[in-house]
A and B are shown apart, each in its own frame.
Chain A
Amino acid sequence: MNKNHRVPSNRSLSAVEVKSKFGAEFRRFSLDRSKPGRFDEFYGLLQHVHRIPNVELLVGYADVHGDLLPINNDDNYHKAISTASPLLRLFLQRKEEADHLAFGTDSLTRKKNTVLSAVLLRPDPNRKKPPVIISLPKDFRPVSSIIDVDILPETHRRVRLYKHGQEKPLGFYIRDGSSVRVTPQGLEKVPGIFISRMVPGGLAESTGLLAVNDEVLEVNGIEVAGKSLDQVTDMMIANSHNLIITVKPANQRNNIVRSGGGGGGAASGSSGRSSDSGASYYGYSSPGGIGAAASTPSHIIQNFHPEELESDEDDEDLVIEAGGEAELIPCAPSASYSMPSLPRYEPHLNLRTAAAAASSGSLAMERRSLEEDGTVITL
């Protein structure tokens, strides 16, 4: 059916053909491309055409790449109108049913494979695996990023590998090694932990945040100096849901150059595709790095907000009540004593609210628990 609408329509370039789907129902109408109006007017229009005046809706559209993107403010509404060619396909959902997973995956993948194959940003050979979720802005999950640029020495990089709900492996290996430090007594060789290899397609490789031969200095705020390879391995695995590694990149050429104190903050929290992803192609640690290493990790001061200490949304266990719903274990307000002194990192670019994150977590968990022990469900 959608082929019919692929036929370019010459009728009017100024009009945008809209096909809106809510449940099993379709509505078609057109909008003026030059005067799309505001989002809330558009929202009212949708409620009107579908005759669901009191239903709270989530609006999504398929963009040119076939990605399902949300419309929930003027900007993305205008973007949707301006890029629609020729047809703007809308998908509406009840907000209370706002299962963003279903929204992003199930309904569309099953029926509209052709359109949504592109949803898989990186084609996954394993069809069974759910594609990358495109969620509503309020559900934006944290992504892997370089953080704390403003507080770290330029020679160091703090990387957050965020593996929430992703099927991608973290995808890297570590090894023992030795690094050269400058001390008052002169150069000194000290044992260290290094990244030894990357798994192609893994989170570490695809984000380009880590590279072979980067020296690992800290794992989630704990210095690794003096720890064995096995200990560091265990620490990383224990933190694998939200792994924050401070490294000294082997390639120091792509370091962010800070012009005075002011610029630093702006660079902080740059997301995903960082400018220095090229680092991964330089495997050899250059002796030039030695001078830079003069600043030892002890200089690092943590940018850390006590109130964020115990936001453990990434770590909540799933409780299934017999005869009840699966639910996340809420954190009792009494707060935990767990390592009061240990920092938990929060991304500077933190768009989510705790509640949303929790719900996404629970959904992810629920899905996982279903797939892993189908028989467990004695609900």
Chain B
Amino acid sequence: MILSVLSSPALVSGLMVVRAKNPVHSVLFPILVFCDTSGLLILLGLDFSAMISPVVHIGAIAVSFLFVVMMFNIQIAEIHEEVLRYLPVSGIIGLIFWWEMFFILDNETIPLLPTHRNTTSLRYTVYAGKVRSWTNLETLGNLLYTYYSVWFLVSSLILLVAMIGAIVLTMHRTTKVKRQDVFRRNALDSRRNIMNRTISPFGHS
């Protein structure tokens, strides 16, 4: 529990994402947040998720956000907004949320012993009764490919739809223009329509 205090920069950088004036800072701070969540997952004993989530979150999502920030000229945010004006209503809503979270968090004050039942390691007795020690990756694969294989394929379909959707959203206009040019250009007879107008060193008009 003491070591997870090392992951309190996650909270600070989370706050800095909201409050950062430069938009580049507000993209760099979630990278710190994702690093800290992976550290927390390592401390919980989930080694597979702790290695996968930086790869996905930092390597794909944060990099694409960096692309968006770097390529488009986003104006630096206005500083003069009266933040304190929002504070009574938002403070009440925040306090209600914070108070409600304590109903869920009642179990979390128990020390770290219950969290060890997630991984099947050699020292602890596993609930499923297996004697051989499996790694975290093996247990995930055992369930994912046998019992939940349909969900796995559905998630691959979701990713495929996301890829097609991203391409359709962005390339909708430019490829259409290009396609008309190709068809029309093939229909033109070059000697009749083009070479007549320009004085070109190639064909004789």
A and B together in one complex: no
